[in-house]
Amino acid sequence: MEFRVSKVSYKKELKKTMKLFETFEHLADIGIRGRGQTLEEAFSNILKALASLLIEEVFLEALELKCEVEIEVSAEFLDELLVSYINKVLTYTYLEGILFFEFKGKIDLQEGGYFLRGFIYGTKFEPQKFGYGVEVKGATFTLAKVEKENHFWVAQCVVDV
C-alpha cells in the first residue's frame, strides 16, 4: 500500500457537497447515504457520511486531504460493490489511522460484474483533535442499494456500530 501527500484543499469542495451525504437511524445501527450526479460522486459522498460518524461532525468541514491510497474493489452487483468498498475503506481507516472522505476514480461494468478503481483521500485520523464519534464495525447489506433516483445516484447501506 502506497501513501502520498496531496496538497489539495478540500474545504471548498466539501461545502459544496454538504447536502449530498447524510446519516439515518436504523434500529440499533446507523445508515449512511451518499448522492451524486455520477455513480463515482455518490461513492465519494458516502465516505463523508461515514467520516461524520467517526468524528464529531462540527470538524468535518475543516479537514484537508493529506493522504492518498489506491483502492480496487470488484463485485457482481452494485450493492455488493458498495458494501465491499465501505468495508475496505474501514479496514484502511483502522489499520493505517487515516480518515477517508473522498474517492476519485472510475466504476465500470465489465464481464462478471462491477469494478471500482481509483484513490481514496483523507487525513490522519486523530480523534483527540477532531472529537470522538462512534465506532463503526462494518458495512452490512441491510438497506443496501445503489440506484438512480431523480437524476441523482444514491448509494446507501447500514453500518454496524
pTM of the model: 0.85
In contact, 10 and 102? CB cutoff 8 Å? yes
Q: What is the strand order of the sheet 113-124 is part of?
A: 3-4, 67-75, 113-124, 98-110
Sign of the torsion formed by the C-alpha atoms of 72, 119, 145 and 134:
positive
In percent, how much of the chain has pLDDT > 90?
A: 68
Angle (CA) 28-31-36 rounded to 5° is 175
Q: What is the pLDDT of residues 39-50, one digit of tens each?
A: 999 999 999 999
Q: What is the pLDDT of residues 51-76, one digit of tens each?
A: 999 988 656 667 888 999 999 999 99
- List phi, psi (to 5°) of 12: -65, -45
pLDDT at position 89, please? 98
pLDDT at position 58, please? 58
Quote the CA–CA distance of 33 and 29 in Å, as a whole number. Answer: 14
Copy the grid coordinates of residue 37. 450526479
Complete domains list, the chain, with CATH: 3-160 (3.55.10.10)
User: What distance lies between CA 147 and its chain's CA centroid?
Assistant: 16
Q: Which residues of the chain fall short of a pLDDT of 50?
A: 1-15, 17-18
